[in-house]
């Protein structure tokens, strides 16, 4: 569904469904109150089919120890401090229709009005948000995101709108969590960033999801850890903030043309001996790495550490404001690394533009430029 359609549904849904405290529905059509623990499978039906009224009110903590399925058209409102926790034996399956989405929102349409939806070690393929509008959460004292994903949980998001969070939109707590199907979503109006995840999870994010009016420059926040799979990082409409300190690549990584990365303080993107990295930019869709603060030496480097792999290549890549720490260069080749570069720029390093260790091989295919580096542009260790 296109962005304008989503926003139209959101505005209509929030206008009609919003139910201020103390307001009754006509004809006694009150929402069913849900709270406490769910221990048997439950289906939440559209109780007022054809009439847009709140079907259910969640108050306090609703804990799912069994599967809960939400049918198309269901409207759920959340009390202040309300939350949903999906535990190891439970799942939450919410699949709406294009013209009949599911809505989960605060009783008042205020950012952070309710707490969060948490998946806590729920490794279940039925954890699905598809054509769902989720808004107004992320407001609890301990809420990192409107949707928190913990432990070994897996959650699918398709054509879903996540809006008006008082913190992050989606916050992944642990490295073992996954987003096996993440496509065509919209994350908007979050006080913090739209998504926080790990290096090993970044490949789950698709290129079609949109990020609108989120805080802190609208970045996708990536915490450093080890990537052991062969994956592709897709071109996103926003930049990824690689927080580090180390984003270690042990598998074969391909980065699509036009991708943009912002490096956190002293962060490092490090290709290990078992890994490779192919940065496939083009003259019209360059790949960029720059410091979150544009100051020489703000981050460490893009490093190949004893990676002698023919896939290693930087094509039309711009690296600026690195050179901190031990790796005093924007691009650092150590051990027996082998890397091809063409049409790249290396700028404003606190040390070298490119450092090539004694046993490494830099294949310079031409068209590379250097600007404002503190030391020599390319240094070959003797």
Residues 268 and 295 in one domain: yes
Residues 186 and 228 in one domain: no
Over residues 307-331, the mean pLDDT reads 97
pLDDT tens string 160-200:
999 999 999 999 999 999 999 999 999 999 999 999 999 99
Helix (H) or strand (E) holding 211: strand 210-212
Q: Is residue 284 part of a domain?
A: yes
Both structure tokens of 45: 């039906």
CA distance 228 to 205: 17
Task: Give the pLDDT score at 28.
Answer: 60
Q: What are the percentages of helix, strand and coil residues in the chain, rounded to 5?
A: 5, 45, 45
Does 244 have pLDDT greater than 60?
yes
Which residues are paired to 305 by β-bridges? 334
Please tell me whether residue 177 adopts helix, strand or coil conformation: coil
Does 6 have pLDDT greater than 60?
no
Residues 344 and 245 in one domain: yes
Task: Give the pLDDT score at 142.
Answer: 83
Task: Give the pLDDT score at 5.
Answer: 52
Task: Give the pLDDT score at 327.
Answer: 86
**pTM to 2 decimal places:** 0.93
Does 50 have pLDDT greater than 90?
no
Task: Give the pLDDT score at 143.
Answer: 84
Q: Can you tell me which residue has the tokens 């009754």?
A: 24
The answer to whether 380 and 353 have CB atoms below 8 angstroms apart is no
Residues 108 and 143 in one domain: yes
Q: Is residue 215 part of a domain?
A: no
Which residues are paired to 278 by β-bridges? 254, 313
Task: Give the pLDDT score at 140.
Answer: 83
Task: Give the pLDDT score at 27.
Answer: 54
Better-scored residue on pLDDT, 140 or 98: 98
* Contacts of residue 163, Cβ cutoff 8 Å, sequence gap at least 6: 10, 133, 134, 135, 136, 186, 187, 188, 189, 190
Confidence of residue 24 (pLDDT cuts 50, 70, 90): very low
Residues 17 and 143 in one domain: yes
Which of 173, 208, 243 is the last residue in one of the domains?
208
Over residues 116-121, the mean pLDDT reads 98
Task: Give the pLDDT score at 12.
Answer: 39
Find, among 111, 108, 170, 161, the residue nearest to 139 by Cα.
111
Residues 53 and 160 in one domain: yes
Over residues 355-381, the mean pLDDT reads 98
User: H helices of the chain, where?
Assistant: 3-17
Confidence of residue 21 (pLDDT cuts 50, 70, 90): very low
Which residues are paired to 354 by β-bridges? 331, 378
Domain count for the chain: 2
The answer to whether 140 and 113 have CB atoms below 8 angstroms apart is no
Q: Provide the percentage of residues in the chain whose pLDDT is more than 70.
A: 93
Confidence of residue 25 (pLDDT cuts 50, 70, 90): low
Phi, psi for 72 (deg, rounded to 5):
-55, 145
Structural domain that includes position 267 = 224-382
Which of 183, 208, 233 is the last residue in one of the domains?
208
CA distance 289 to 70: 42
> How do beta strands 352-356 and 378-380 pair?
parallel
Residues 193 and 307 in one domain: no
Concatenate the DSSP letters of all residues of 290-354 into one string: EESS-STTSS-EEEEES-EEEEEEEESEEEES---SS--EEEEEETT-EEEEES-EEE--SSEEE
């Amino acid at each position: 569904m296109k962005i304008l359609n989503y926003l139209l549904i959101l505005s209509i849904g929030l206008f009609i469904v919003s139910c201020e405290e103390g307001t009754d529905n006509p004809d006694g059509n009150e929402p069913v109150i849900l709270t406490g623990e769910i221990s048997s499978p439950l289906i939440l039906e559209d109780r007022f089919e054809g009439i847009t009224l709140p079907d259910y009110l969640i108050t306090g903590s609703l804990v799912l120890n069994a599967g809960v399925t939400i049918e198309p058209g269901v409207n759920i409102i959340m009390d202040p401090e309300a939350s949903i926790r999906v535990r190891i034996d439970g799942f939450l399956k919410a699949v709406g229709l294009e013209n009949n989405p599911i809505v989960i929102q605060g009783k008042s349409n205020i950012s952070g009005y309710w707490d969060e939806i948490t998946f806590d070690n729920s490794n279940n393929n039925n954890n699905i948000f598809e054509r769902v509008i989720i808004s107004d959460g992320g407001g609890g004292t301990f809420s990192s995101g409107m949707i928190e994903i913990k432990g070994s949980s897996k959650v699918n998001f398709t054509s879903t709108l996540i809006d008006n969070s008082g913190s992050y939109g989606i916050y992944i707590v642990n490295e073992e969590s996954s987003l096996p199907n993440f496509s065509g979503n919209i994350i908007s109006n979050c006080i913090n960033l739209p998504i926080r995840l790990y290096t090993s999870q970044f490949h789950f994010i698709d290129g079609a999801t949109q990020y609108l009016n989120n805080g802190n420059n609208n970045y996708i926040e990536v915490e450093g850890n080890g990537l052991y799979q062969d994956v592709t990082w897709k071109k996103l409409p926003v930049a990824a903030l690689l927080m580090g300190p180390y984003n270690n690549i042990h598998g074969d990584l391909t980065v699509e043309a036009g991708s943009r990365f912002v490096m956190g303080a002293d962060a490092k993107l490090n290709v290990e001996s078992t890994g490779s990295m192919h940065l496939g930019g083009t003259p019209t869709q360059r790949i960029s790495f720059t410091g979150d603060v544009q100051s020489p030496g703000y981050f460490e480097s893009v490093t190949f550490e004893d990676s002698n792999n023919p896939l290693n290549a930087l094509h039309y890549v711009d690296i600026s404001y690195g050179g901190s720490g031990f790796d005093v260069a924007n691009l650092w080749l150590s051990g027996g690394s082998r890397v091809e570069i063409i049409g790249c720029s290396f700028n404003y390093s606190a040390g070298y533009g490119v450092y090539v260790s004694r046993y490494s091989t830099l294949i310079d295919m031409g068209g590379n430029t250097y600007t404002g580096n503190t030391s020599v542009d390319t240094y070959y260790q003797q």
